[in-house]
Structure 1
Amino acid sequence: MAIILIGFMGAGKTSVGKLLGKKTEKNFIDLDYEISKRLQMPISEFFVEYGEEKFREIEHELLLEYHQSSGVISTGGGCIETVACRELLKQQTQVIYLQAEFNTLWNRIIDDQLNIRPLAQSNESKDLKRIYQKRLEFYEDCAAHTIATDHLTTEDVVKQILQTIDW
């Protein structure tokens, strides 16, 4: 069974997922990367051309495809926007919510020049905060475990996950 990382953009899902995969010698699957590969275009371009709803459909298809793997899966921050994704996540026992306060996440997002996030590009801090607040309940509802990442290094988060999960 996979370990599935959920959380808002900037929570550290990809960084933690890569290191966790390496430490456990398990496959790391970044859903956003896999989606981009399947679409043969950056997610930001797909959002502009086809919209968020179509993107969420493809995201759900890939979550269905990978959720039973024995690897580490990093979801996109908005994966939980889709009812079908939430229902699937709630059935899993190894869903880890990487939680952080909005100000921490905002600072990480604006400091990360390599990762282009469509919703961060098109929204100001106050608008992104509304999205964050809307999603909080969904993250909490889907998570089997929650780890507050505000003051932890990637290594610290991985250590906590390894102490928390039954793998």
Structure 2
Amino acid sequence: MAVELDGHRVTEDAVAALMTRVGERVRQVREQRGISRRVLSETSGVSPRYLAQLESGAGNISIGLLCRVAEALDFRIDWLLGEDDPWTSEALQMADLYRQSEAAVQAQVRALLLDGAPGGQRAQRICLVGLRGAGKSTLGRMAGTALEVPFIELNNEISEVGGMPVAEIMALYGQEGFRKLEADALEQVIATHEQVILAVGGGIVAEPATYNRLLSHFHTIWLKAAPEEHMARVRAQGDERPMAGQPEAMGQLKSILQARETLYERAHAQLNTSGASVTDTLERLLALIAREKFLG
């Protein structure tokens, strides 16, 4: 004989097997928790006689009452009903540990799982970080062309969000206003691009919330270079500002690099661009992206 359950025909033997399994698990959990049947009855509001029938596999308990029993045992009702044994299933054990963990630990676990999953938080997004003159814009643009992936400079997005050039934003709103627009621009890139190569300003790493957001949603690569090369490359681009009226500019640059080094080291990968041609560095960058499977 069979019964109808949510449009499916279920045999009485299957129903009996389910009730036996549920009863055994209720008893096992109760004994594991060191709870007597009387205490469980008082906590759940289910009579001792009903609990005895349930644990013997003879109780035709309602879902509502079973929910109350599961809650009193601090045990998930789906683990009482499922075919997997909650004491031998690693997945269920991990789920139980997750449920008992603090919110901060749960957030870390979610981030790790999402990062490792297809289409996870980082998706196929790559971000190049480092000081000015590291080659972020040049290499990012060339890598984007070679890989047929959009290339974006965050400063351009900041200008678009702010409605004016970055220099004017800094003059009008100051550092605090710029950082706010930087965070907004980053969110816009995350929301609109699952595949992209992004180049960001060197100081973004000093803004904890924005940098953490960047690390969570992009595969980050620190483009390293010696301070002398940073300075030489900026000047080769026709930008004399780093040296103009600042005889101690090189010392300041070294201090900035030293102060940010531990922050840049949080990147998921590093690439030293010192003493290498652009072509050679590009080849090594593409090889790194392929090796680390940053684009899937």
- Report the TM-score, using the length of structure 2 for normalisation: 0.51
CA contact (8 A) 1:3 1:73 kept: yes
Q: How far 1:50 sits from its partner (Å)?
A: 1.4
- 1:120, 1:60 → 2: CA distance? 29
Q: Deviations over 1:75-122 (max 9, x none)?
A: 111111110122123324621110011111011122222x697x8879
1:144 equivalenced with 2:268 (yes/no): yes
CA contact (8 A) 1:44 1:116 kept: no
For 1:139, the aligned partner's letter is Y
RCO higher in structure (CA 8 A, sep ≥6): 1
In structure 2, the residue matched to 1:5 is: 128
In structure 1, the residue matched to 2:183 is: 60
1:161 equivalenced with 2:292 (yes/no): no
Q: Select 1:20's aligned residue among 140, 143, 157.
A: 143
- For this pair of structures, how many residues does the alignment match? 164
Q: Deviations over 1:20-51 (max 9, x none)?
A: 11001111111011212332322122212211
Structure 1 range deviating more: 156-165 or 99-108: 156-165
Structure 1 range deviating more: 19-28 or 81-90: 81-90
CA contact (8 A) 2:228 2:250 kept: no
CA contact (8 A) 2:205 2:263 kept: yes
CA contact (8 A) 1:120 1:128 kept: no
For 1:30, the aligned partner's letter is E
In structure 1, the residue matched to 2:256 is: 131
- 1:88, 1:120 → 2: CA distance? 33
CA contact (8 A) 1:36 1:43 kept: yes
Task: Provide the alpha-carbon RMSD of the alignment.
Answer: 2.3
- Report the TM-score, using the length of structure 1 for normalisation: 0.86
- 1:110, 1:163 → 2: CA distance? 29
In structure 2, the residue matched to 1:71 is: 196
Identity within the alignment, %: 29
List gaps (5 residues or longer) in structure 2.
1-123
- 2:159, 2:243 → 1: CA distance? 18
- 2:245, 2:165 → 1: CA distance? 16
For 1:108, the aligned partner's letter is R
List gaps (5 residues or longer) in structure 1.
none
- 2:194, 2:276 → 1: CA distance? 27
Q: Taking structure 1 as reference, are residues 86 and 64 closer, same or farther at Cα in structure 2, changes over 3 Å only?
A: same
In structure 2, the residue matched to 1:83 is: 208
- 2:279, 2:210 → 1: CA distance? 28
CA contact (8 A) 2:132 2:234 kept: yes
Q: Deviations over 1:118-152 (max 9, x none)?
A: x88796332233222211111111x1110000122
